[in-house]
Structure 1
């Protein structure tokens, strides 16, 4: 019998059409992905604790609800302490912006005046002026991006509220979902699919649990250090430094720039203290915190990580840099698996 008359051919064709329709549907509803992504993150963060509580005799649903109650208490406490402090710092920042703007303009004018009084060739002088104006535009663009991000967060409050509900049902029926997914895999593919799923799950677990733990530790340490040395807006700058830890290699530099810039507007000696504090915390993070929590989790060469970060940043900006490492690690797993199968 010819291959186009076999039932298997029509089955594969049907599956291909079905997968195409599903992918097209997912593309149409891509704006709804955020609560599911947040729910998956919550599952990765909370499910290990639920599993331990279940092993000690707690029913799974009760363990999830108890854990949710604990998380609500902690988050409420942080909001009660952190939100007023953040609001006060934002109000102070808004009041201080004109002063800081005058200081920056004065520094720029002094630099331009020094160039005007120097013997720099006109062509080089023009290039420097263009770079200064470019830097000013870039700073204004960064401010607009931050404001757009804050507005986007406010506009996604429903998604943030929906994520815990989705995460509850995912954790409640997680084992059933796993068994159902395995049952849908053809028997001859089961071993390979389970192997790939385990490897990819390890990457996601390491990135979500490990990196977010590092973010929290570095953010808290940095905020405390900035408070102790008397830096204004220490909490906000500490949060920025902590979140920047999600970006390997370049993250510490990205997180330190706002703090150093703010310190320079207060005093040069304070800027030196900020640099020292960031250096000490980064040494702790690089030599103690990350090795203990992350280890060599993603299995990528440092050069591959840097290339992935540069490519992600070039294509998708900060979001691309945040996702570059886990996506590169997953790509490595898939390519290695395909290479082994082809040999």
Structure 2
């Protein structure tokens, strides 16, 4: 066993930088899994500052001073941040509560709709089976309503914490934008002066993560805003809540669009039934999804992420299970990071009659 470990060590950890990279990855994962909740505002501020850095850099490329670029980027962030916190979220929450209150009526209407099945298809659906299904649905609905009330009451003691985060995150974003070079230089002072492996991985990931993260944020905003305008124009109930779900659905590749289609179609059906308004709404929704996948995504993501669909789905499940929504959002960049590390990691191969040789 010791000999096997020694061969593995000599093959993959023969360079000082390889050991350093392994230590950095291990420490990062341990910190995120142990005190990730404590570091949440700092991590969120880092991500948001990284996203807004693109705005500041673009303004500087047009000849504006650095302080002007940073100021404009920060003002754009503050407007979007507080608009989302105090505008969209309360509206979506009120519509969610209204939808929960209307669920019993929808459930009863659904029972009337399904009540004809035992008479038409007695060999497939029985009255007893239908009663069991409706009873289970009523139980789940009651638990859902109780959960909403419990969480609403449970959030009262944490209002102070939320207010602290609302104040703290913009301040951190400002300083991360303003003192970006100093902070990076300070972090780099703890690393070796010569670090070609880290530079190569960072150079590759910086472009891909920037392209993906900023493009994904723009995609969420465009798809969500377009859906909201269309839903309001067509008179669909709970337009803000459903548009928010449609916008966030683009975070999860292949799965998000399929999942969010169900609530949109259900709400439209219980509002209009199988009428022309229902079919128009479904048509508009699928047009939005088609334009997103075939027009918007190719325009926003100039650099394709070369990952197999199975790898993307596994990354979404794994990182989403560990870090929640942030893990889902950054599942593809993190999977790309792992792929870049594997490809760039120096190894030694042993050929017959020769000593171990270094390969990259």
Task: Indicate conservation of the 8 Å contact 1:50/1:64, yes or no.
Answer: yes
331-340 or 221-230, which deviates more: 331-340
Map residues 223-234 of structure 1 onto 2, 5 A cutoff: 223-234=228-239
Larger helix proportion, structure 1 or 2?
1
- For the pair 1:222 / 2:227, whether they are aligned, the reply is yes
Aligned residue for 2:243, secondary structure, equals helix
Shift of 1:27: 5.9
Residue 285 of structure 1: which of 292, 316, 321 is its match?
292
Shift of 1:79: 7.6
Q: Which residue of 2 aligns with 1:101?
A: 104
TM, length-normalised to structure 2: 0.72
- For the pair 1:338 / 2:338, whether they are aligned, the reply is no
Aligned residue for 2:37, secondary structure, equals helix
Separation of aligned partners in 2, 1:23 and 1:282 = 35
Q: Which residue of 1 aligns with 2:56?
A: 50
Task: Assess, with a 3 A threshold, how the Cα gap between structure 1 residues 21 and 119 changes in structure 2: closer, same or farther.
Answer: closer
Residue 259 of structure 2: which of 242, 254, 257 is its match?
254
Unaligned runs of 5+ in 1: 1-10
Aligned residue for 1:180, secondary structure, equals helix
Shift of 1:309: 3.3
- For the pair 1:199 / 2:207, whether they are aligned, the reply is no
Map residues 175-214 of structure 1 onto 2, 5 A cutoff: 175-188=181-194, 190-214=195-219
CA RMSD of aligned residues (A): 4.1
Task: Assess, with a 3 A threshold, how the Cα gap between structure 1 residues 305 and 66 changes in structure 2: closer, same or farther.
Answer: closer
TM, length-normalised to structure 1: 0.75
Task: Indicate conservation of the 8 Å contact 1:196/1:333, yes or no.
Answer: yes
Q: Which residue of 1 aligns with 2:169?
A: 163
Residue deviations 1:258-297, cap 9 Å, x none? 2211111112233322221121111111111111111444
- For the pair 1:69 / 2:75, whether they are aligned, the reply is yes
Shift of 1:101: 1.6
Task: Assess, with a 3 A threshold, how the Cα gap between structure 1 residues 23 and 230 changes in structure 2: closer, same or farther.
Answer: closer
Separation of aligned partners in 2, 1:70 and 1:42 = 12
Separation of aligned partners in 1, 2:321 and 2:48 = 29
- For the pair 1:236 / 2:250, whether they are aligned, the reply is no
Aligned residue for 1:31, secondary structure, equals coil
Q: Which residue of 2 aligns with 1:6?
A: none
Unaligned runs of 5+ in 2: 1-15, 350-358
